[in-house]
Each structure stands twice: as structure tokens, then as C-alpha cells.
């Protein structure tokens, strides 16, 4: 099976930078996804990494190291609307296109 760990909660200040880490143990790794989920709403896709390195998309970036089983989501210039849960999810080769999710990190942005 897969084991995916991420911190339960984080707090950061508006305008700052925050890094949310995700570690995973899996065989047949075939991609890592980050989703954002506001309270009471469905998760929405943020980023996808399948090769090592950094993927940048505006204020959000995601990094992957396959050898270390490690990813992070970097949020820059934090805004109050970034207060949400951030879900790390892994896809494995033998499981078709099914994703396994971590428990999520609840980020609170304070003024």
C-alpha cells in the first residue's frame, strides 16, 4: 500500500511564503498531485509532478524528489483567500489512474 504524510496544520502571515511538505512511501510511483480544498467545498487541482524538480505556476510552485519520496508545495505572497486545506495525492502505476491521498494540511493565513 501507500503511506502519505503531511503536517496537519500550519499558520502563516499574509504576504509571507509558506512551504507545505509531503512525504510518501509507495511502489510504482507514477505522479504526485496537489489539491486545494476550501472548507465545505470540493478539492480543486493545483499542480502535478512526475519528474524531479520544480514546477512553477504563478504564486504556487511544487517540487518533487522521487529518490527521497518527498514533495513540497510553496505558496508565495500569501493572501487571506489561501486559507484552505492542501491535499497531497500519489498515483501508482499498477492502480490505473487511482489516487491515494494524504490527510491534508490545513493552512490558516493571518493578517
Partner 1 sequence: DVKVTQSSRYLVKRTGEKVFLECVQDMDHENMFWYRQDPGLGLRLIYFSYDVKMKEKGDIPEGYSVSREKKERFSLILESASTNQTSMYLCASNKGGGLGYGYTFGSGTRLTVV
32 CB burial (10 A radius; 0-12, 13-18, 19+): buried
| Min CB(16)–partner 1 separation in Å | 26
Instruction: Give the residue with the Cβ less far from partner 1, 35 or 63.
Output: 35
As measured in angstroms, the least distance from the Cβ of 27 to partner 1 is: 17
**Among residues 5 and 77, whose Cβ is nearest to partner 1?**
5
Give the interface with partner 1 as residue ranges (CB under 8 A).
8, 33, 35, 40-45, 48, 87, 89, 91, 96-104
Amino acid at each position: 500500500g501507500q503511506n502519505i504524510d503531511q503536517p496537519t496544520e500550519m499558520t502563516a502571515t499574509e504576504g509571507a511564503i509558506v512551504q507545505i511538505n509531503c512525504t510518501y512511501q509507495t511502489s510504482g510511483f507514477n505522479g504526485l498531485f496537489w489539491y486545494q480544498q476550501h472548507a465545505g467545498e470540493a478539492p480543486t487541482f493545483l499542480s502535478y509532478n512526475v519528474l524531479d524538480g520544480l514546477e512553477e505556476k504563478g504564486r504556487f510552485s511544487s517540487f518533487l524528489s522521487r529518490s527521497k519520496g518527498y514533495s513540497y508545495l510553496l505558496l508565495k505572497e500569501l493572501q487571506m483567500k489561501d486559507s484552505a486545506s492542501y491535499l497531497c495525492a500519489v498515483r501508482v502505476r499498477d492502480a490505473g489512474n487511482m489516487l491515494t491521498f494524504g490527510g491534508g494540511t490545513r493552512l490558516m493565513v493571518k493578517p
